[in-house]
Structure 1
Amino acid sequence: MGKLIKIMLPSGIIAASFIAVFLMTVAKEPPVKNATPEAIPRYEVNEIHSQLVQVVVDLFGEVKAESELTLIAEVSGRIESIHPAFNAGGTIDANEVLIKIKDEDYRLAVVQAEAQVAIADLALQENIADAEVARKQLPSGSHTPLALKQPQIAQARAQLKAAEAGLQKARLDLARTAITLPFTSRIRSKLVGVGQYVPVGVSLGEAYSTENAEVRLAFTDDQLIQLGISMGYKAEKQDALKVKVTANVAGRDYEWWGWLARVDAAYERQTRLIYGYVKVEAPYEQVRGQEKMPLAIGSFISAQVRATEPIRAYVIPSEALHYGNRVYVVNNGQVFSKRLSVFQQRSESLVVLDGLKDGDLIVTSPVSAVVEGAKAEAVVAKPIATQNVFVIQEQAL
C-alpha cells in the first residue's frame, strides 16, 4: 500500500498542476485590442465657378513690309538729280521725286508727237472735205465708197489715232523721267548716283512701305476654332480680331495694336499649318514706351490674337488635370473623377467648357492610386490663379 502511494503521489501532483494551469488560462480575461482608426486621405481642393473668359491665342512671327519693290528705270538717260533722302534708311513721302533723269530729249519727242497729231488731223479734215465735194458733184447713182473718199478717210483716221498714241507715249516717257513711289517708304538700298547713265530696265534701288506693316502668323486648326474663325477668313479693321504685338528690344517690351486682316484658305504643304496676316498701321509712328521705338521691319515679335466674343468657362490650374483629361473632385466626403472637355491650355491654367459644374471641389494637390468613391477629406487651398487667362469681371460688363 505504501509503495502504491509513493507511485501515485507524484502523478497526482503533476495532474493537479495541469488542472490548475488550465483553470487559470480559462479564467484569464482576453487582452483588449486597441482599435486603429481608418486613415482618410486629405486633399487640397478649390471650389470653382464658371466665368466669362476672353479667348486669347499666343503666337510668334516676323514683321514684314506690306509692300516691297525694286525701283526700275522705265526710260534711259543720264541721272540729273537724286532726292537727299534717297539713301539706305532714308524716308521718302508718297509721290516725292526720288530720281530725275534728264528730260530734254523727251520734251522734244512730245513736241514732235504733237506736230504729227496736227498733221494727221489736217489730213483727215481734207479727206472729209473732198468726200463732201464729191457727194455734191457726182450723180447719186455713182456714189461709190471709192468715189466718196471713204478708204482715204479711214486711212486718215487710223493715222490720226496712231499719231495720238505716239503723243501719249511721248508724254508717258517724259513723266517716267521723274521716278516716284506711290506710298510713304523707307529706302533699303541705293544703286545709282548723279551723272550716271541708266538704260531701260536697270535697278536703281530698293524700298518698302512704312504706311502698314504685316506680320505672318502660323495657326493650327484648333487655334482657329478657339478664335471662332475659319480658313479663308477676311475682315476689315472695324470688324476684325484685335491683335497685340509685342517686340523685345534691348531687354524692354514695346507694344503695338493691329488686326487680323486675312487667313489663308489652304494648309501650308510642309508644316500643315494655316497662315494668317496681321496688319499694323503706321509701325514707325505707333510707339509705346518712353523711348520712341518703331516696329521695325524684320523684328521677331510675339502676338496675342483675341477672339471677338468672350466665352463662359471654368478656369482650373494645369496641375489639377490628370491622364485622360480627368480631374478629381471631392463630394460628400468621397473622391470621384470627372472627364473634361478642355477648350484651351495656357501656360499655367486650363480653360474648360464641359465636365464640371459650379461649386465643384476639384483636387489640386498631388494624388496617386485613387479609388473611385473612396473616403476623402477636403482642405480648401488658396484661390486658383488665373495667370495668362483673361477673366472678365462681369460687373464691368
Structure 2
Amino acid sequence: MGNETIGIQRQSGGIGRKILVIAVPILILLLFVLLGGGLQNLTKKPDIKKRSRPMLAVTASIAVSDTVQLKVNVQGESRPRTEIDLVPEVAGKIVYVSPKFISGGIFSKGDVLYRIDPADYNVAVVRAKAAVARAKQILVREQSEGAIARLDWDDLGAGKQATDLTLRKPQLLEAEAGLQSAQADEDNANIRLRRTAVTAPFNGRVREKVADIGQYVNPGSRLGRIFSTDIAEVRLALSDADIARIDLPMAFVTESRDNALDVKLSAIIGGKIRVWDGKIMRTDAVYDPQTRSMFAIAEVVDPYGTGAADGGYPMSPGLFVDAEIEGKILEGVIVIPRDALRPENKVYTVNQDGIATIHDVDVLDTNPERAALLGGVEPGALVIVSPLEQSQINYKFRVLDVNDPTIILVDVKKEENKKDKNKPEGQSSLAAAKKKLAESKKSYATAKKEYAIAKKKSRKKKNKKERNKEKREKQTSEQKEQDDKSKEGAE
C-alpha cells in the first residue's frame, strides 16, 4: 500500500515536471512578444494631425506707388495782430461814451469813442489866439521902427556902416520869435482840445470796457481794451521734422502774400467744420526755450469780412484752430489706407493663400485718409484694412475689396479645392472610393430601416386580417348554433 502511494506520487511529480518544461518556454515566448509589442508601441511615432487654421473674412486694399504732397498738421490759437489799451492823452471828466464802446462792440476807424470835458481846453485856445495877436502887433511895430531907423541912419550916418542894434534888428528877431512861440501855443491848445475826443485808431472791436461817463481820468488811464479786425494771426509751433517737410527757412519774412506758404485753418463751430484760408508770412526770431519749437505766424486778412469762413463765421481771437500746411511734393511713395496702419507703425499683408504677415514700415506722412510710407511694403501688396488683433494673425483669411466687399480678392475655399485637384491620382481615387463607400453604407442603412418599417406594417396588417377572420368565423358559428336551436324548437 505504501509502495503504491510512493509510486503514484513519483508519477504525479514527473507529470508536473513535464508540464513545467513545456509551459515555461511558452510563457517566456509570450513575455517577449508582449514586451516587443509594448516597445514597438512606445517607439512608434503618434500620427501627427495637421492643425487647420481658423478662417476669417477681412477687407483689404492694394498698396500703390504714387506722388504725394507732404502736409504738416499743427494747432494754434487765433489772436489779433493789433491789440491795445485805449487811453486818453489829456486829463478831465468823461462827458461822452460811444454806444459802440461796449464789450464786443464794433467800431470803425475815426469813430469818437470817448469825449473829455473840453471847457478848459477851449479857454486855452482863446488865450493862445490872443497871445498870437499881441505877438503879431509887436512884430509889426518892430518892423516899422526898424524901417525908420534905417532911414535916419541913411540921413545922418555920413556913409558909415550902421550896427544891427542901430537898425533894431535884435528887437525885430525877438518880435518874430514871440510870434512863433504864440502860434505854437495856439497849435498846442488846439491839439489838446482835439484830444478831448478819443477816437478809434483802426477798424476793430471792443474786448473790455473800463471807464464810463462822469469818471475823471488822467493821461494814460485805461478806458478799455480794443483790437483790430483787419488781420488775424495764428502762431503755429513747428518741430524740426515739420520744418523739413514744408522746407521753411529759419529766418523767413515776406511782405508779399504771393511768396507765402498756403495754410488751411479749421475749427468746429456750431457743430460744423469751418475753414479759413491763410498764409505763412513770417517766423519768430528765436526758438521757444520751453518746447524747443520754432513758431510760424499765419495771417488771415479781414477775418470778419471777406476772409470769414462759409456762412460768415469770423476767426475770433482765442479760437483754437487746426492748421494744415502744404509742403514738399515727393514721387514714388508707397500709399496705403490710413486704417491699414497699425500701432507701432505695423502693417498686415495677406498673400494669395490667405496667410497674413506683419511688416514694420517707415512712415513718411499721414492724414485721415491715407498713410505715405518710405518702405516696409512693396507696391501691389494686399494690406488688411479691417480691424484685426495681432493674436488673429495666424488665421486664414478670405479677402474682400475694401471699396466693394462683393468683390473677392482671395477665396481660401477655392484655393483648397485647387490643392485637392493637384493631389496624386491614387489619393484622389482613394478619397472617391471612401466617399462612395460612405454613401453605400448610408444607403444600406436607409434601406434596412425602410425594410424594417415595411415588415412591421405588413405584420400588423396580417394580424388584423387574422383577427377579422376569427371574428367572422365566430359570428358564423354563433349564427349556426342559433339556427339549430330554432329547428329543434320547431320540431
Structure 1, gaps ≥5 residues long: 385-397
Deviation, 1:119, is: 6.1
CA distance in 1 between partners of 2:24 and 2:215 (Å): 139
Larger CA deviation: 309-318 vs 96-105: 309-318
Which amino acid letter does the alignment assign opposite residue 248 of structure 2?
I
Which consecutive residues of structure 2, in runs of 5 or more, have no partner in the other structure? 1-10, 404-491
Deviates more, 1:152-161 or 1:60-69: 152-161
Deviations 1:166-193 (A, max 9, x none): 4543343233232212211222215131
**Equivalent-residue separation in structure 1 for 2:282 and 2:149 (angstroms):** 63
State the match for 1:283 in structure 2.
Answer: 303
**Are positions 1:50 and 2:65 aligned together?**
yes
Q: What residue in structure 1 maps to residue 321 of structure 2?
A: 302
Distance 1:46 1:120 in 2: 99
Classify the secondary structure of the residue corresponding to 1:243: strand
What TM-score does the superposition give when structure 2 sets the normalisation length? 0.57
Q: Are the structure 2 counterparts of residues 169 and 311 from structure 1 closer, same or farther at C-alpha, using a change threshold of 3 Å?
A: farther
SS across alignment from 1:223: helix
Match of 1:177 among 183, 196, 200: 196
Aligned to 1:390: none
- For the pair 1:234 / 2:229, whether they are aligned, the reply is no
| Preserved contact between residue 282 and residue 296 of structure 2 (Cα < 8 Å) | yes
Q: Distance in 2 between matches of 1:381 and 1:275?
A: 46
Identity of aligned residues (%): 25
Q: Give per-residue Cα distances to partners, 1:219-249, cap 9 Å, x unaligned.
A: 3333333333244433443333222221434
Q: Name the amino acid aligned to 2:197.
A: A
8 Å contact from structure 2 (residues 139, 172) kept in 1: no
Shift of 1:342: 1.9
Q: 2:126 aligns with which of 99, 108, 118?
A: 108
Correspondences of 1:198-347 after superposition (within 5 Å): 198-235=217-254, 236-238=256-258, 239-249=260-270, 251-285=271-305, 286-288=307-309, 293-298=313-318, 300-312=319-331, 313=333, 314-317=335-338, 320-321=341-342, 325=345, 327=347, 340-346=361-367
User: Residue 97 and residue 184 in structure 1: after superposition, are their counterparts in 2 closer, same or farther (change >3 A)?
Assistant: same
SS at match of 1:307: strand
Name whichever of 32-41 and 202-211 sits farther off. 32-41
Partner residue, 1:395: none
User: Hey, what's the Cα distance between the residues in 2 that align with 1:113 and 1:223?
Assistant: 68
Of the three residues 76, 83, 103, the one matched with 2:91 is: 76
Amino acid at match of 2:262: L
SS of structure 1 residue aligned to 2:192 = helix
Render the CA deviation track for 1:113-151: whole Å, top value 9, x for unaligned: 644774686589679979988998989996888889887
**DSSP-derived class of the 2:64 partner:** coil
Map of 1:94 onto structure 2:
109
Where 1:241 maps in the other structure, the secondary structure is strand
Q: Which has the higher helix share?
A: 2
Give 1:68 shift. Answer: 1.8
1:71, distance to aligned residue in structure 2 (A)? 1.8
Paired with 1:190 and 1:147, the residues of 2 have a C-alpha distance of 63
- Return the offset for 1:267: 2.2
Mean CA deviation greater in 204-213 or 252-261: 252-261
| Equivalent-residue separation in structure 2 for 1:47 and 1:191 (angstroms) | 67
Higher relative contact order (CA 8 A, sep 6+): 1
TM-score normalised over the length of structure 1:
0.68
Question: 1:314-355: per-residue Cα shift (whole Å, max 9, x none)?
Answer: 2354664565x5556567979877653322355686432344
Alignment: residue pair count: 374
How big is the shift at 1:48?
0.3
> CA–CA distance in 2 between the matches of 1:308 and 1:32?
65
Q: CA deviation at 1:264?
A: 1.7
Cα distance 1:303–1:143, how it changes in 2: closer, same or farther (>3 A)? farther
Question: Which residue in the other structure is 2:79 paired with?
Answer: 64
Residues in 2 aligned to 1:263 and 1:218: alpha-carbon distance in whole angstroms: 10
Is the Cα contact below 8 Å between 2:204 and 2:227 reproduced in 1?
A: yes
Give 1:93 deviation, angstroms: 0.9
Aligned partners of 1:128 and 1:276: how far apart in 2?
69
Q: How does 1:121-200 map to 2 (within 5 A)?
A: 162-163=181-182, 165-187=184-206, 188-193=208-213, 196-200=215-219
Cα RMSD of the aligned pairs, angstroms, is 5.0
* Counterpart code for 1:182: P
Residue 95 of structure 1 and its aligned partner are, at CA, apart by: 1.1
2:261/2:279 contact within 8 Å kept: yes
Alpha-carbon distance in structure 1 between the residues aligned to 2:138 and 2:298: 55
Identify which range, 154-163 or 240-249, moves more after superposition. Answer: 154-163
Deviation, 1:94, is 0.7
Q: Residues 352 and 162 (structure 1 numbering): CA distance in 2 closer, same or farther, change over 3 Å?
A: farther
SS of structure 2 residue aligned to 1:200:
coil
C-alpha distance after superposition, 1:7-40 (max 9, x if no partner): 66764576578779989999xxx99986644868
Q: Is the 8 A contact 1:213 1:281 kept in 2?
A: yes
Cα 1:320/1:270, change in 2 over 3 Å: closer
Distance of aligned partners of 1:142 and 1:289 in 2 relative to their CA distance in 1, 3 Å threshold: closer
Q: Give the CA deviation at 1:357.
A: 3.8
Name the one with the larger strand percent: 1
Distance, in Å, in 2 between the alignment partners of 1:212 and 1:104 is 38
Segment drifting more, 135-144 vs 65-74: 135-144
Conserved in 2, the CA contact under 8 Å of 1:96 and 1:180? Answer: yes
Quick one: distance in 1 between partners of 2:50 and 2:150?
A: 129
Preserved contact between residue 302 and residue 308 of structure 2 (Cα < 8 Å): no
Give the AA of the match of 2:287.
Y
Alpha-carbon separation, structure 1, partners of 2:296 and 2:96: 42
